[in-house]
Amino acid sequence: MRKAFISPTKYVQGENELLNLGFYVKSFGESALVIGNPGDIERVQDKLDKTAEHFGITLHLADFGGEATREEVNRLKKLAKEKGTDIIVGLGGGKAIDTSKTVANGHNLIVCPTIAATDAPTSHSAVLYTKDHHFDEYAYFIQSPSVVLMDTTVIAQAPARFLISGMGDSLATYYEARATRRSNSNVNAGLPNGYHTGDTAPAKGTIASITLARACYETVMENGYNAKIACDNNVVTPALENIIEANTLLSGLGFESGGLAAAHAIYNGLTVLDGPHNYFHGEQVAFTTFVQLILEDAPNDEVEALLDFSLSVGLPVSLADLDVAEVKYEEILKVAEKACIPEESIHAMPFEVTPESVAQAIIAADVIGRDYKKRKSVK
């Protein structure tokens, strides 16, 4: 049996860690192209200036155009070549980081998230879009980023909604890795450079990946509420540090080397509805993780633990929480059909899945979530 595990070469997090960015740039050369949203660059400009001066490096700042397109990638590749930079630095949120990954193309790359909203920073993949914001393709690279650098002080200053969304994404990691392991399905870590949507590489998950996925779940459940309070007040506490690590490192390694299943496939299906577009990735995944538990008939205590946690931090537990006021079977079936296309991860579930069974699980989860929330609010 072929197994695969992939991770960044180095992961480091700490207060004011961006001040050490120059140290990591210096290990690759003398200059870097820093790609980020103008607002994110402005937020950390002082730290960038200080680390460049202290370590004697040059940081060329490049404003990200706002969408991770092929055109933007080519523009920034050309700029990096003109500047003669030794390494790419991706600064900010998901699309800026995905663009930076594609510019680096599996070579020297430092990722510096300014929020902890998803588990994508550690991965060896990126999502590209068209100029009119439609999905274009997935890109996979030969290796993960060279360094993932998390400045907890910067992340604590961001709105707590980003952190909470990251928890929603992290909640799926263990349940999807567990399903993938039970079905002996392949994982993304086996995909080499040049593979795109629809291609497969036969690699199964490792003991390490399911262990990390389980640790991710336990860390989020234990620390999530206190981390939310810390972020609400822009302070760094041990709970916040634990959640930053869970959202980014544990979930990132867990999903990529442990596998995806129903939760993320149903998230992709939700794109046919209008309401969920108003919500972050992790907020939607929190609900679709609940749907996965209903689909697989998980024990009631497991379901209620997920619902209790979601309500405690403000994550959605129903379609109503995602601005879907009226649930029509015909529309939900379209969601399920998109979630069940042949190349989707939902087929990693350890039993046969059909659009009809998924649609019914979505409707059941919606009703259960609404009722549970109502009963908890009465108490």
Known binding-site residue numbers for glycerol: 119, 169, 264, 281
Strand-pairing partners, residue 61, are 34
Query: Where are any strands of DSSP class E within the chain?
Result: 10-14, 31-36, 58-63, 87-92, 109-113, 125-129, 135-140, 147-151
Q: How far is CA 218 from CA 174, 247, 280, 309, in A?
A: 9, 12, 22, 12
The DSSP bridge pattern shows strands 125-129 and 135-140 to be antiparallel
* Binding-site residue positions: 94-98, 119, 123, 129, 169, 264, 281
Measure CA 27 to chain center: 28
Q: How far apart are CA 222 and CA 184, in angstroms?
A: 29
Gyration radius of the chain's alpha carbons: 20
Q: How far apart are CA 218 and CA 238, in angstroms?
A: 15
* Tokens, residue 340: 């069940």
Query: 274 exposed, middle or buried (CB, 10 Å; 0-12, 13-18, 19+)?
Result: exposed
Q: How far apart are CA 73 and CA 94, in angstroms?
A: 14
Strand-pairing partners, residue 10, are 147
* Binding-site residue positions for NAD(+): 94-98, 123, 129
Phi, psi of 173 (to 5 degrees): -55, -50
